[in-house]
Structure 1
Amino acid sequence: MIGPRLYSCCNCRNHVSLHDDIISKAFQGRNGRAFLFSHAMNIAIGPKEDRHLMTGLHTVADIFCADCNEVLGWKYERAYEATQKYKEGKFILEKSKIVKENW
C-alpha cells in the first residue's frame, strides 16, 4: 500500500503538504509557478509583512521547511480586497521548491 500523494521540500524531502490540499495551481510565486494549498505541515512561519502582490496588497508571512529552513513560499495572513479574502489562512508553495512523493 502506497501512502497518500504528497509534496516534500526539494532540499531535504520533509513532507510539507498533501496533494488533496491543493486549491489552485494557477498562482505565481517569486520564482515561477506556485500552488495554493489549504494546509501545510512541518513548516516554520516567519514574521508577517505587507506585500504588494499581483492581486493587490496582502499581509503575508514567509514559510520555511521546519527541517532545513528552505524558503518554500508564504502564508496569506490577510487580504485587503473582498475578492481576495478566500486566500486568508492559505499557503503558497512554489513549484520549484517542492517535489512529488508517492505518485
Structure 2
Amino acid sequence: MAELVGPRLYSCCNCRNNVALHDDVISKSFQGRNGRAFLFSHAMNVMVGPKEDRQLMTGLHTVADVYCSDCNEVLGWKYERAYEETQKYKEGKFILEMSKIVRENW
C-alpha cells in the first residue's frame, strides 16, 4: 500500500518553519532582492512588517517585509498596494525569495 504524502510545502531556510503551500504559487517568474522569487496567493506562519513605498522593477508599490514567525528571517514581502492599474493583481499577494525558502515533502 502506498504511503500518503502530505502537501508540498515551502519552509524557512533557517528554521524549517512551514511558510507556504506549493498549491498557492501564482508565478515562478519574479525577481526578489537576492535573485529568483515566487509570487504566492497566501503565506502562513509569517509576520508582516510596516508598510512602505518602494520603487520596484514594475513601478511604485506599497509593500511590507515578511518575516518567519519562528526565527524572524526576512523571507520576502507582501504587496499592499499597486499604483499602476496593470499591477493591481499583486495586491494582497506575497513574494518569497527562493534563497530564503526550501522545499518540503517533494
Same fold, TM exceeding 0.5? yes
Letter of the 2:94 counterpart: F
Output the CA distance in 1 between the equivalents of 2:36 and 2:61. 19
Counterpart among 21, 26, 47 of residue 23 in structure 1: 26
Letter of the 1:63 counterpart: V
Counterpart among 71, 90, 105 of residue 68 in structure 1: 71
Output the CA distance in 2 between the equivalents of 1:73 and 1:94. 6
Structure 1 residue 96 and structure 2 residue 103: aligned? no
Aligned pairs, how many?
Answer: 103
Output the CA distance in 1 between the equivalents of 2:6 and 2:28. 22
Output the CA distance in 1 between the equivalents of 2:54 and 2:87. 14
1:2 Cα offset (Å): 1.2
Segments of 4+ moved more than 6 angstroms: none
1:40 Cα offset (Å): 0.0
1:84 Cα offset (Å): 0.0
Q: Paired residue for 1:36?
A: 39
Structure 1 residue 6 and structure 2 residue 30: aligned? no
Letter of the 1:90 counterpart: K
TM-score when normalising by structure 2? 0.97
1:47-62 superposed matches below 5 A? 47-62=50-65
Identity over aligned residues, as a percent?
Answer: 84
- Larger Rg computed on CA atoms: 2
Letter of the 1:14 counterpart: N
Gaps of 5+ in 2: none
Q: Residue by residue, what CA displacement relative to the aligned partner does 1:55-101 show, whole Å, maximum 9, x if unpaired?
A: 00000000000000000000000000000000000000000000000
